[in-house]
Amino acid sequence: MTEKQRLLDNRYMRMARIWAENSYCERRKVGALLVKNQMIISDGYNGTPSGFENKCEDENNVSKPYVLHAEANAISKIARSHNSSDNATLYVTASPCIECAKLIIQAGIKRVVYGEKYRIMDGVELLERANIEVLFLEEEK
C-alpha cells in the first residue's frame, strides 16, 4: 500500500469515528463512510429506520431488532441516490457482522477498512471469501 493510501485510510477512518458520534444508540456507536474516487458518496451510523423513535435500546437495554447497522444505513442511503457503491471502499469503525457483510458483497464494494475487532469475526471471514480486500486499521495514538 502506498503512503498516500495509508494517510487517506487513516483520515477517512477518523471521519467515520466522528460520524459515529451522530448515533443516539447508547450501547454502541458505529459510523460508516462509502468512498469512491476520493469522494464520500454515502455515510451512515447505527440507528432506527427513518421516522422511528430515536432510541435503539428497549427497556431491558437490549438493541431493538429493527435497528440498522451503520454499514446497512450507508448502503441503503446510496440506493436512494444517483450514485453507485460499485467498486467503492467502505470505512466502518467496527468489524462488519455477517448480515452487513452480505450487503457489502452484493453492493459491489471492493474494499473494507474497519477500525475495531468485534468478538464474532464471521462477517470479515465472509468478505474475504468474496475476495473483498479487508484491512484492519487500529486507531492511531
| Cα–Cα distance for residue pair 89/74, rounded to 1 Å | 12
Apex 18 CA angle, 117 and 108, nearest 5 = 60
Active centre residues (catalytic) = 71
Q: How many residues of this chain bind Zn ion (CB under 5 A)?
A: 3
Nearer to Zn ion, 29 or 69 (CB): 69
Nearer to Zn ion, 8 or 105 (CB): 105
Which residues, 80 to 99, sit near Zn ion by CB under 5 A? 97
* 100 in a known ligand binding site: yes
Helix (H, G, I), strand (E, B) or coil at 28: coil
Q: DSSP characters for 38-58?
A: TEEEEEEESBPPTTS-S--B-
Strands 133-136 and 111-114 turn out to be parallel
Cell of 5: 493510501
Which residues, 100 to 119, sit near Zn ion by CB under 5 A? 100
| Cα–Cα distance for residue pair 67/64, rounded to 1 Å | 6
36 binds Zn ion (CB under 5 A): no
Task: Give the residue carrying C-alpha cell 456507536.
Answer: 29
78 binds Zn ion (CB under 5 A): no
Which residues, 40 to 69, sit near Zn ion by CB under 5 A? 69
Nearer to Zn ion, 28 or 36 (CB): 28
* 82 in a known ligand binding site: no
25 binds Zn ion (CB under 5 A): no
Known binding residues for Zn(2+): 69, 97, 100
Instruction: List interacting residues with Zn ion (CB under 5 A).
Output: 69, 97, 100
